[in-house]
Amino acid sequence: MTDAPAADWFETFFTGAALDLWRKAIPQDATDQEIEFLDQVLEVEDGAALLDLPCGNGRLSLPLAQAGYKLTGVDFCASFLDEAKLAAASAKVKIDYVQDDLRRFASAKKLDGAFCMGNSFGYFDQDGSIEFFQAVSNSLKPGAKFVLDSAMVAECFLVNGGEREWVKVDDMFMLIENQYNCRLSCVETNYTFIQNGTEEKRQAVHWIYTAGQICKMLEETGFAIKDLYGSTDCDLFELGADRLLLVAQKK
């Protein structure tokens, strides 16, 4: 890669097979572990107001709302938001789902905690990431915690990531082909989804930041860094960890 990658790739990525795969990709036990982790590290009272962004089809916001928390979910993808709204209505719980750009979202009231789970960080360049963190910061009360989850930080991806990999999820196959741009510190990924003899292709871009760079951006937007974990079991984050689970607190 020599040219700057498309900054708005995510606006058209999440349709068709990409959504089908995401619906199947995370097993229920992994979701349960993430719910337990969030409940532990956010340290909020029963009935607290939480912000889930991006919320997808409500994988985390729905069970948290069922547990008694007040949820606001923000996502760009209208299809997933429609699914989330239907699921919430079926479960008879109230969740405020909003279609918006994560960098522009502004909550009408200050919330008690927030989280960005599901490896959804890194879609934006540095300016966009700072805008995202600032939007989260502006939405939180002082002292509120923010949890950021990513397997695309440098300490994870540059150690564990491969150039080419096949993944099977249920009845779907996915080919992942990565090309890393050293000058721009981003990885351009070509995805091929194959299901029932049908093939779909997508392209995505993840900007790769070190944990230290993420900490610095968070500190610049009104957060103090509390903990860096490498798993939902609260293992210490270190080079080669599968993921980063960062806990920050609004100053």
Q: The tokens 């096949």 sit on which residue?
A: 166
**What does pLDDT average to over the chain?**
95
Write the CB contacts of 77 (distance below 8 Å, at least 6 apart in sequence).
14, 19, 54, 56
In terms of Cβ atoms closer than 10 Å to its own Cβ (0-12, 13-18, 19+), residue 218 is buried
pLDDT value, residue 1: 44
pLDDT band, very low/low/confident/very high, at 5 (cuts 50, 70, 90): low
Q: How much is the pLDDT for 11?
A: 87
pLDDT at 139 over 90: yes
Which whole number is the average pLDDT over 150-157?
Answer: 97
Comparing C-alpha atoms, which of 117, 62, 116, 108 is closest to residue 84?
62
Radius of gyration over every alpha carbon of the chain, rounded to an integer in angstroms? 18
Domain spans of the chain, in order of start: 10-151+209-250, 157-204
Helix axes 126-139, 211-220, angle to 10 degrees: 50
Least confident of 2-6, 139-143, 195-199: 2-6
CA distance 227 to 235: 10
pLDDT over threshold 90, residue 49: yes
So what's the pLDDT on residue 3? 56
- The model's pTM is 0.94
Residue 42 CA to residue 58 CA, distance in Å, equals 19
Using pLDDT thresholds of 50, 70 and 90, give the confidence band for residue 2.
very low
Residue 78 has pLDDT above 60, yes or no: yes
Mean pLDDT across the stretch 16-36?
Answer: 93
% of the chain with per-residue pLDDT over 90: 90
Confidence band for 12, pLDDT divided at 50, 70 and 90: confident
162-198: b (≥16 Cβ within 10 Å) or e: eeeeeeebeebebebebebbeebbbbbbebebbbeee
Q: If we measure between CA atoms, which residue out of 149, 175, 188, 169 comes closest to residue 20? A: 169
Arithmetic mean of pLDDT, 103-130:
95
> What is the predicted pLDDT for the residue at 221?
98
Residue 43: predicted pLDDT: 97
Write out pLDDT tens, residues 59-69.
999 999 999 99
- DSSP string across 12-78: HHSSTHHHHHHHHHS-HHHHHHHHHHHHHHH---TT-EEEESS-TTTTTHHHHHHTT-EEEEEES-H
pLDDT at 4 over 70: no
- Give the integer Cα–Cα distance in Å for 187 and 205: 6
Q: Give the C-alpha separation, 148 to 51, whole Å.
A: 12
Mean pLDDT of 204-218: 97
For residue 129, what pLDDT band results from cuts at 50, 70 and 90?
A: very high
pLDDT band at 94 (very low <50, low <70, confident <90, very high): very high
CATH superfamily name and code, 10-151+209-250? Vaccinia Virus protein VP39 (3.40.50.150)
